[in-house]
Amino acid sequence: MAIKQAKVITVTSVKGGTGKSTTTLALAGILANKKIKTIIVDMDLQAGVIAASLNLKNQKDLYTLVNDYMNHNLKEVDDYITKYNDYIDVLPAPKDPRSVGKINSQYIDIILKKLKYKYDVILIDTNHIIDNINIVTFDNSDEIIYIITSDLMDLKNMKTMLSIYKDMNVTKYTIVLNEALSKDHLSTYEIKTFLNKEISYILPATSYTKNVKKMIMEGKIITLEKNNKKDKTVIILTELLDKLLK
């Protein structure tokens, strides 16, 4: 019998400021509501905000894990993981950005493969930089979720990425338009026409976003709050996860 491995879902963008980390946390909350054992791996190595958003007081992070692995001091991967609740664990990004350059992508591959046997879902929050670490991350992913806005530079960068994926025959990605952070008021039709690609999901501008800052200050995940379960964004993200986990 084959051993069950985690579904790996990576949330990324083609520029900063699209709300990808907030979306990652929202997805984790929905998974927790479904009692799906999830780990958030913060691969936004230079500007990771997951641990800070959850008010975690972690002593270890991705860098200390890789460093101990390289120096043969690793005992258990679990020692480097911080628990948030019964269904959500976190492997935080490095506290010191200066350590990022010392992280070898080879060890990212090894760590992700180990985590696949410990969880139902690995939820990765990463940045828009195309480097060896992100290439390894994407290769390990079952699905890549791109959070975009209607910002013109965002759309131009996304169009370039779509062209690259077409050349590489890559299809394991989903485009999510975040209207809450969209500054240029382009219609969905205009965005689709520019990208020459369908937008899979649209997160509405009027949604739980008004409460996000308060939740972050309190270290809470907004989708874990009972009064948000019928929110439009929660319903859309739940639909997205149901499709990916099918």
Instruction: Give the contacts of 238 (CB within 8 A, at least 6 positions apart).
Output: 30
Burial of 104 from C-beta contacts in 10 A (0-12 / 13-18 / 19+): middle
Domain edges within the chain = 7-241
> What does the pLDDT read at residue 236?
95
User: What's the pLDDT at 1?
Assistant: 42
Topology at the third CATH level for domain 7-241: Rossmann fold (3.40.50)
Please answer whether residues 6 and 91 qualify as being in contact, where contact means their C-beta atoms are separated by less than 8 angstroms: no
Q: Return the percentage of the chain with pLDDT > 90, whole number.
A: 65
For the stretch 103-128, pLDDT in tens is: 888 999 999 999 999 999 999 999 98
Indicate whether 76 pLDDT > 50.
yes
Nearby residues of 162 by Cβ (< 8 Å), 6 or more positions away:
195, 196, 197
Residue 173: what are its φ and ψ, rounded to 5°? -140, 155
Tell me the average pLDDT of the chain: 90
Identify which has the larger pLDDT, 80 or 215.
Answer: 80
The reported pLDDT for the residue numbered 177 is: 95
Average pLDDT over residues 44-66: 91
**Alpha carbons 27 and 33: distance in angstroms, whole number:** 10
Alpha-carbon distance 172 to 175, whole Å? 10
**This prediction's pTM:** 0.93
φ, ψ of residue 114 in degrees (nearest 5): -70, -40
Distance CA 157, CA 169 (A): 18
Bigger pLDDT: 235 or 73? 235
Find out whether 39 and 122 touch, Cβ atoms under 8 Å.
yes
* Residue 80 near residue 64, CB atoms below 8 Å: yes
Cα–Cα distance for residue pair 74/65, rounded to 1 Å: 7
pLDDT at 208 over 70: no
- The pLDDT value recorded for residue 209 is 62
CA–CA separation, 5 and 204 (whole Å): 33
Instruction: With cut-offs at 50, 70 and 90, classify the pLDDT of residue 141.
Output: very high
pLDDT digits 0-9 by tens, 19-40: 999 999 999 999 999 999 999 9
State the maximum Cα–Cα separation within the chain, in Å, rounded to a whole number. 54
pLDDT score recorded for residue 83: 96
